[in-house]
Amino acid sequence: MPDAAFLYSEALSRFDFGDDHPFKPVRAKNTMELCNRYGLLYARNVIRPEVIPAAPGLLELFHTPEYLEILKRASRGEHDLEMLAAGIGTPDCPVLQGIYDFCLLVAEATMTCVELVHADVVGRAFNLIGGLHHAGTDHAEGFCYINDVGIAIASLIARGARVAYVDIDAHHGNGVQDRFIAEDRVLTISLHESGDGFYPGTGLETEIGEGRGRGFTVNVPLARKTDDEVYGYAFDQIVPPLLNAYRPDIVVAQLGADTLISDPLTHLRLTSNGYEAAVKGLCACSQRLVATGGGGYDIFRTANCWTLAFAAMCGLEPEDDYLGLVGGAMYGRVVGGLRDPEILTQGEEKDAAWHQARRVVRYLQETVFPILGAGKP
């Protein structure tokens, strides 16, 4: 059986949100070119399937029919007040012709990953342009018009699967949390930047679920300037113990790379090394993994990280056959390779990051771990 599937669509990577919009689907093409350069796409344990057309009603697994009708109108270039009330027509989510078809194709690609992993065709599958985790059931927000990871989770639990959702994007996965906050068949774990005025303003550690879902929502808010060391500590203390205790049938992951030190929209300080360590840690405790992209607004370094992520899913070490050759730069933009030098926060900012991480970890170990039967690592 192949280890991993790589989902790429030229139609998705070409979609344009506008010159001034931070969301750039072309990151997927950059990643595909790097994965090709580093020998990942044609390995014997990798497949590159076509996107499977969606079944009728796919988007309604998560979204209301009324909202989808609004989205279709926006896709035709129409404008009205009902659309604005649903979050479309804002700077984050402008009216874009063709946006409905783009969203449907994103959802189809993520669902193709679900079908491949659920049927044990592959152990892991990666949809680069998925991970639209902010959209709600009846509105768009945060660059997200639909919620493909929410659709995937809803599809899986309808089949009787136990699902864990792990989100390492710098922004809290609020749309997914809102939908499944009272659900004990879904364990949601989000590690993200916190702070006053930072979007979306949710994801406190005290948000641990409601009703029968109490204890099945886990948030790890991290301080500004959190670096590889602090992030790695928080990840290792929370994610593996909870996944091992919960024992999901399938893990759905959002692998946003806007945690990077160079990201223009966030304030964390990860390097590609810290990002890669988190993905490898996730792979180590996820036998069946549906992975999606997400945020990442330094588009070239995001492509580096997603290349490292896919290599981890394949169990391969990326090797650049063109490194050092004349003309090698024609085969992808890699300056100094995929991995960054070590960059660590110092002084009071590092102390504050450690204090926040340790406080949050302690709180979750005291409140959530007993509910799920998890032991400290």
- Residue 152, in any domain of the structure: yes
**Of 222, 234, 323, 229, nearest to 270 (Cα)?**
229
Predicted confidence (pLDDT) per residue in 321-376, tens digit:
555 444 444 444 444 589 999 999 999 999 999 999 999 999 999 999 999 999 88
Asked whether residue 124 is domain-assigned, the answer is: yes
> Which is catalytic among the residues 118, 133, 134, 171?
134
pLDDT of residue 321: 57
Question: Is 139 a catalytic site residue?
Answer: no
| 279 in a structural domain | yes
Please tell me the predicted confidence (pLDDT) of residue 317.
87
> What pLDDT sits at residue 86?
98
Spell out, as residue ranges, where the chain has pLDDT lower than 50: 324-335
Q: Could you tell me if residue 87 is inside a domain?
A: yes
- For 218, the 3-state DSSP assignment is strand
Residue 42 is assigned to a structural domain of this protein: yes
177 part of a folded domain? yes
**Which backbone phi and psi does 165 adopt, to 5 degrees?**
-115, 120
- Four-point Cα dihedral 157, 159, 160, 166, nearest 10: -30
pTM of the full predicted structure? 0.95
Query: Residue 353: which domain range?
Result: 4-372
The Cα 288–Cα 47 span in angstroms is 16
How many domains is the chain built from?
1
DSSP state letters, 229-295: HHHHHHHHHHHHHHHHHH--SEEEEE---TTBTT-TT---BB-HHHHHHHHHHHHHT-SSEEEE---
Query: Does the CA dihedral 294-295-297-301 come out positive or negative?
Result: negative
**Within a domain: 377:** no
> H helices within the chain, ranges in order?
10-14, 27-37, 65-75, 81-85, 99-118, 148-158, 174-180, 228-246, 272-284, 299-314, 347-372
CATH of the domain at 149: 3.40.800.20
Let me know if residue 93 belongs to a domain: yes
Q: Running DSSP on this structure, what letter comes out for residue 204?
A: -
